[in-house]
Amino acid sequence: MTPPVYLAFLNGYAPPWQDVVAGGVREALARPVRAVPVQVDLAPAYAREREQYHATLILAALLRQVPEPGARILGITPFDLYIPVLTFVFGQSQLDGTGAVVSTHRLRPEYYGLPPDEGLTVERTIKEAVHELGHAFGLVHCPEYGCVMHASTYVEEVDLKGASYCGACLEELHVRRASAH
């Protein structure tokens, strides 16, 4: 049986569209997806001078909570994330590893001074979730602009790409899945 992907909306974060994100991830990866409540101590990850959370530290804490061997876990948080070499990140993942984390903070239109748009926030969250999980399954950034694995530095780039893998990335996922069995 294929191990599931666990979606962990961190520390009680409970947007009304959790099931929609789970469905988008399930559709893109063709894997079972299960929600799991996870509490992570965010205090050590908070950088007061930046007013952001260090994504790597959150990811490390999340990895200690993987429910079963072989599974992947994706933490989703509303807090702004960064890594030291970048101003911010939409998410971070272990390449060919167990976990990933995504922030919805900069995926919300209101962050950019625009009216709230829940549908757009959900669409962006699905894309970033599928992207970061792609890294966890061993995929690197893709040169195809429409592929979900295309790198996104700005939210406009998230909007331009699709929520699914291109043919080459999908083939790589299948090869990796077959070699794991």
Q: What is the pLDDT of residues 66-105, one digit of tens each?
A: 988 889 999 999 999 999 999 999 999 999 999 999 999 9
Residue 63 has pLDDT above 90, yes or no: yes
> Mind telling me the catalytic residues?
132
Domains of the chain with CATH codes = 5-140 (3.40.390.10)
User: Does the pLDDT at position 181 exceed 60?
Assistant: no
- pLDDT for 99: 95
Beta strands in 26-97 (DSSP E): 33-35, 46-47, 52-54, 72-77, 81-83, 86-89, 91-93
Mean pLDDT (whole number) for 20-24: 97
pTM for the structure as a whole: 0.95
Task: Quote the pLDDT of residue 3.
Answer: 85
The closest alpha carbon to 132, from 18, 43, 35, 5, belongs to 5
